Amino acid sequence: MKTYVLDTNVLLNDPRAITAFEENVVVLTEYVLQEIDEKKKGTEEINANAREVSRHLDKLTEHLSSRIISGQASHQPGPPATNTFTEISLPNGRGRQGTLIILMDDPANRVQGASQDERILALVHKHRWQFKTPIIIVTKDVLMGIRAIGMGFGRQDYKRDQARTQLKQLPFIDPQLLPFNDLFNGRNNIKIPGILEKTYKDQDSFVPIVPGYYIIPCDHSAVLIHIDHSETVRVVHGTPNFCRMKGGRGIRARNIEQHAAADALLNKRKTLVCLIGPAGTGKTLMAIAAALETLKQTNKAVTPPSPQTLTRKERKQVRNQKAAQSERLQILIARPMISMGQEMGFLPGDVDEKMRPWIQPIIDNLEYLVGESEAMRLLEDGDIKLQPLPFIRGRSIRNAILIIDECQNTTPLEIKTILTRAGEGTRVILTGDTGQIDMPYIDKLSNGLAYAADRMGREEFAAVVPMNICERSLMAARAAELL
């Protein structure tokens, strides 16, 4: 049994955190509640999370039958001050109950501290003699964790919103596990019963084979294969030159990782594709190119009727064309609005104009693929829309390809919000570098991209492709490696 004291940032990252500690004791201090209250107003994700925490606490205390424990606040001489602990049972759905303690300060003798973090730790220190189990401060703030250690408490990061593992590169599989000759004698799709029960060696450990892409090492080359949930092995001999649109040159995969990415992106059955890797590996470019290729194949030109007086048949044709237009596939592109260095301040204009500086890397890739004039036409006609992430909550997105670039700067709760917006006919492509995170309180395992890839990457509709080979330039490759 342990006593877990939650910092505010834990609740703002995951409003469900209160019930994540099984049968142990969870402590919320008065100062955490104050910070939650201060964050309730606003339209950002953090404000929505603060309101969700408030609703959760309201539900827990709605039919409260708690016992009040009054005790001496400290061992100092003088008249004892009384403080109240409110204990609430925490059902967690596993047949075990935890305990939530609301720890209030003494109004007549409040703890001192220059910040809320200091007051949280001081209040817990003031009452530490009343807790019978080891006290652990759960925080995503490194400096608060160090302060906690300095005061003799345990310190722990919040782990429920973390990825358990992270695929860093395409795994190599032993050729002896497969009928290697059959795969290259015209039988491209071979069912191998029991292949998903075997393991492959990853450094010093053996890892279970799961559905996904693998590399078979050969004498002087390598072969890319895909294993699906039905234990069918398919050789990816190559991928086509795609996105050859009007004014565009098209692109072709340059290395085995890009072949895996292209194979996943062009497979319409893969409705969730995660491309993870450093800068220059082609993640964003390939995602946009594949989306444009799908757009070209799906949307057919609709010829408007003559503007002359319309017959009944022509009016029906207009209605059908409008219906077809409303069901046309569109590309939605978004990225977290995180700047490098100082903020630019207020940006004038409508939503598209405000989004333009943040989305400029996307436009650069688009212009490279199809040329400037065609890129502007796609944007003006609405085939490609720039989607502000803060406005995605509550939407139901149908018949679209949703690309989230720089996805490593989202939280697990934000990525859940994004993925639950996907309606019928919608595919989602997540791209990002988990080694380049600009948001506070998330790291390479607790960001939305790594979390989604870990929790959903083994689903039949999903594909996770790590990309590490830089194709931008030699300088970019060496910079990513050395700097």
**DSSP 8-state assignment for residue 172:** B
Of 348, 361, 354, whose CA–CA distance to 284 is shortest? Answer: 361
Q: How far apart are the first and last CA of the chain?
A: 44
Residues 244 and 292: their CA atoms lie apart, in Å, by 9
Model confidence band, residue 317 (pLDDT cutoffs 50, 70, 90): low
Say what the pLDDT of residue 472 is.
84
User: What's the pLDDT tens digit per position in 204-259?
Assistant: 788 899 999 999 888 777 889 999 999 999 989 889 888 877 656 678 999 999 99
DSSP 44-103: SHHHHHHHHHHHHHHHHHTT----EEEEES-S-SSSPPEEEEEEEEEE-SSS-EEEEEEE
* Sequence-ordered list of residues with C-beta below 8 angstroms from that of 95, at least 6 positions apart, any chain: none
Q: Angle CA(346)–CA(351)–CA(352) in degrees, nearest 5?
A: 110
Long-range CB pairs of 155-161, under 8 A, 24+ apart, other chains included:
156/4, 157/446, 158/10, 158/13, 158/14, 158/17, 158/20, 158/446, 160/14, 160/16, 160/17, 160/20, 161/13, 161/14, 161/411, 161/412, 161/413, 161/446, 161/451
Model confidence band, residue 318 (pLDDT cutoffs 50, 70, 90): low
* Helix or strand (DSSP H, E) at 418: helix 412-419
Q: Does pLDDT of 73 surpass 60?
A: no
Of 344, 375, 353, 374, whose CA–CA distance to 362 is shortest? Answer: 375
Position with higher pLDDT, 218 vs 268? 268
Q: What is the pTM of this model?
A: 0.79
User: What's the pLDDT tens digit per position in 408-445?
Assistant: 999 888 899 899 999 989 999 999 999 888 888 888 88
Please provide the CATH number assigned to the domain covering 3-156.
3.40.50.1010
CB 365 within 8 A of CB 429: no
115-133 mean pLDDT: 93
- Domain residue extents for the chain: 3-156, 164-237, 242-301+312-482
The second-level CATH assignment, the architecture, of 242-301+312-482 is 3-Layer(aba) Sandwich (3.40)
Say what the pLDDT of residue 75 is.
42
Residues 266 and 170: their CA atoms lie apart, in Å, by 19
Model confidence band, residue 45 (pLDDT cutoffs 50, 70, 90): confident
User: What's the pLDDT tens digit per position in 7-44?
Assistant: 999 999 888 899 888 889 999 999 999 999 999 998 77
169-179 mean pLDDT: 87
**Runs of H (alpha helix) within 85-207:** 116-126, 142-150, 180-183
Residues 367 and 282: their CA atoms lie apart, in Å, by 15
